[in-house]
Amino acid sequence: MPDSEAERLPREPGGRIPGRRGTATRERLLASTAELLARKPYRSITVTEIARGARTSPATYYQYFLDIESAVLALAEASAAEGAELSAPLLAKRWRGADGWQNSLAVVDAFLDFWRSHQPILRVVDLLTEEGDERVRAVRVGMLNVVTRELASVITEVRGAADGRPGADPMATAAVLVSMLAHVAAHQARYEDWSISMASIRDAMADVVYWAITGPRVPEHERPKPATKRGVRA
């Protein structure tokens, strides 16, 4: 096995790569963790419960994971690998008119569907990121950075092709859009409480994505000059 491939394989806390039976046990432990996260608050889950769901013992659990956070991290990494597909709708070539709006809607749907499918683990990822867990934060940043950079590339290409005028930093615009998409996707179940349908939210998100990619822009004479690091206009 090439060294690069071996480096990507899951390892036990001591660094050993588990065999076939060990890998199967590890997967059962992860599946049990995911199942518990789907129906219980993260802080109330115990190693004993995880082990019981995987038909093994707590002692066996600690052969594969140092703590519950380690299992959560493994689940987060698996979800992040799938999250790389969030950038797929951005590969479309036509961004003007009806085609562009449909492409924007596809971007929105990719976020909404991904968060619905991975809600339990992504909820914990957000929690641990806010609490300062750098391991989990790195996974979240890495996942969203892929789509942010792809989106920035699309903004640069589409706006540049339109008129060649400078505008807001494409990477900054993309970062704002991705933050919006991730936040709304993470809280989509709450909008019904405000008497706002998710169909309306979905259309509004697509509008914002479309406008950000294609314009219109703030007239350059209306755009303030960039602030200095001290917050004083240059």
User: d(Cα 48, Cα 75) in Å, to the nearest integer?
Assistant: 18
Give domain limits for the chain: 12-66, 77-214
What does the pLDDT read at residue 214?
87
Q: Lowest mean pLDDT: which of 26-35, 85-94, 110-119?
A: 85-94
Average pLDDT over residues 14-27: 73
Task: Give the homologous superfamily in CATH for domain 77-214.
Answer: Tetracycline Repressor, domain 2 (1.10.357.10)
Residue 84 is predicted with a pLDDT of 74
| Unique residue bearing structure tokens 């993470």 | 186
**Is 196's pLDDT higher than 60?**
yes
| pLDDT value for 161 | 57
pLDDT at 231: 47
Q: Which CATH superfamily is domain 12-66 in?
A: Homeodomain-like (1.10.10.60)
Q: Take residue 12 and report the two structure tokens written for it.
A: 């036990």
Alpha-carbon gap, residue 129 to 45, rounded angstroms: 19
Examine the pLDDT at 56 and tell me if it is beyond 80.
yes
The model's pLDDT over 201-216, given as tens digits with 9 standing for 90+, comes to 999 999 999 999 887 6
Q: Yes or no: say if 31 and 48 are a contact pair by the CB < 8 Å rule.
A: no
Task: Kindly report the average pLDDT of the chain as a whole number.
Answer: 82
Looking at residues 81-101, what average pLDDT do you find?
82
Give the Cα separation of 119 and 42 in Å (integer). 12
pTM of the entire predicted model: 0.76
pLDDT of residue 82: 84
pLDDT digits (tens, 9 = 90+) for 151-181: 999 998 888 755 545 567 899 999 999 999 9
